[in-house]
Amino acid sequence: MFAKRQSVLAATAGAPPARRSMAETFAPAVRVLKKPPVAVAGAGVLLLGAAALFVTVLGDPRAGAPSARVSLNRPAAAATPVPTGLEAFSLDGSGLYQDLAAGGDPALMGEAVITLPDGATVSGEGAAVTAPRVAARPLTAAPIAGLSQPGPDGALPRIAPDGRVPAVAYARPFVSNGKPRVALIVGGLGLNAVTTRAAIERLPAEVTLSFVPYAEGLQGWIDLARAQGHEVMLEMPMEPTGYPNNDPGPYTLLSGAGPADINAKLNWLLGRATGYFGVTNYLGDRFATSDEGMSAFMTRLRQHGVAFIDDGSMSRRPGAWARASANRIIDEQQSPTAIVGQLNALEALAKARGQALGTGFSYPVTVEAAARWTAGLEARGLQLAPASALANRPGR
């Protein structure tokens, strides 16, 4: 058997191999691929291979586009410190209201737009004061002869030998027409040139203007206000709750100080300028509790013939040459809606009682709202009066 097999191998050893067709060659593979599991797997491999070939040949389709990596770690925002009274007196330094032309469409910014009874509109904080300029109705230029005397830190007001007093001579003259009277004081003036000029030029002459004693060029601002027709006041910094963390300034009248200290500070404060008919408080809820301090303060004002009009927080304190207290602060909330609401309430109070006095700060929105509101008072049956017209002498 073995020999027969050897002879067959020898016979075929030198012969060329027999040729086989393609079908015969791949027949086994075809039979395997026809099995369902193998066919599905093969289709998947083919799809992945085609994708790999596409990327290899054509490259990443976004390879030419610019790209960047950004860290999304956001640092914690630093807490904004609450401003002190002195910082509030010096808002111009922070530029909060310097750019009055900034801002966009109030409706797009989510800010209310208020329509007043005369059809005018008032929009929010930071917007430009667009109320028209009013014609000047000048008052007598200061100083008026006989109403001042030299002091250690500047000229001080005094009662003239003929009986004239600054509280009357520097006040805006007023004649009642029998209608309910409403008065408005706008304060915080002299630190910001833009808002100060807007208040002087765009508010009617009957609106009383109150100036900060620390303002640079204070006499020039007072002269400009009187040339436009406004009577003016000076603001007296007084000790508030939280002093000295809440500090109105270096000449603050302190509740624990004696008459000598109060008089020394009043020499500086009252001597800053001439032409004011009265003074008003800046803060001072703590100072108001001091009987000795308030007595020394009021006595000094009475001796100089100066009126005192407070923001409503010291209404039970008599004294000074003439006295009045505000009924409302109109802009504790600095929004058009809130301010117009307070002005309307002030108007209603004047109609109910015969007169009413409001105070506000020279925010652009306050000046704008006040200018628009005062323009329609006469048509609504009221008379706009200077604040001095609502101040009374004790016992009168």
pLDDT of residue 26: 54
Q: How far apart are CA 78 and CA 81, in angstroms?
A: 9
**Of 299, 283, 304, whose CA–CA distance to 361 is shortest?**
283
pLDDT of residue 14: 41
222: phi then psi, degrees, rounded to nearest 5: -65, -40
> Tens digit of pLDDT per residue, the chain (396 long)?
333 333 333 343 344 444 555 555 555 555 655 565 555 556 665 666 655 544 454 455 454 445 545 454 545 545 545 444 444 444 443 333 333 333 333 333 334 444 444 444 444 445 678 899 999 999 999 999 999 999 999 999 999 999 999 999 999 999 999 999 999 999 999 999 999 999 999 999 999 999 999 999 999 999 999 999 999 999 999 999 999 999 999 999 999 999 999 999 999 999 999 999 999 999 999 999 999 999 999 999 999 999 999 999 998 788 889 999 999 999 999 999 999 999 999 999 999 999 999 999 999 999 999 999 999 999 999 999 999 999 998 754
Q: How far apart are CA 200 and CA 112, in angstroms?
A: 26
Spell out the residues 6+ positions from residue 252 whose beta carbon is closer than 8 angstroms to its own.
237, 238, 239, 243, 265
pLDDT of residue 162: 97
CATH class of this structure's domain 85-131+146-390: alpha beta
Q: How far apart are CA 138 and CA 229, in angstroms?
A: 4
pLDDT of residue 115: 45
User: Domain residue spans in the chain?
Assistant: 85-131+146-390
Give the global pTM.
0.72
**How many CB atoms neighbour CB 242 within 10 A?**
14
Token code pair at residue 169: 């001579």
pLDDT of residue 23: 54
pLDDT of residue 221: 98
pLDDT of residue 318: 85
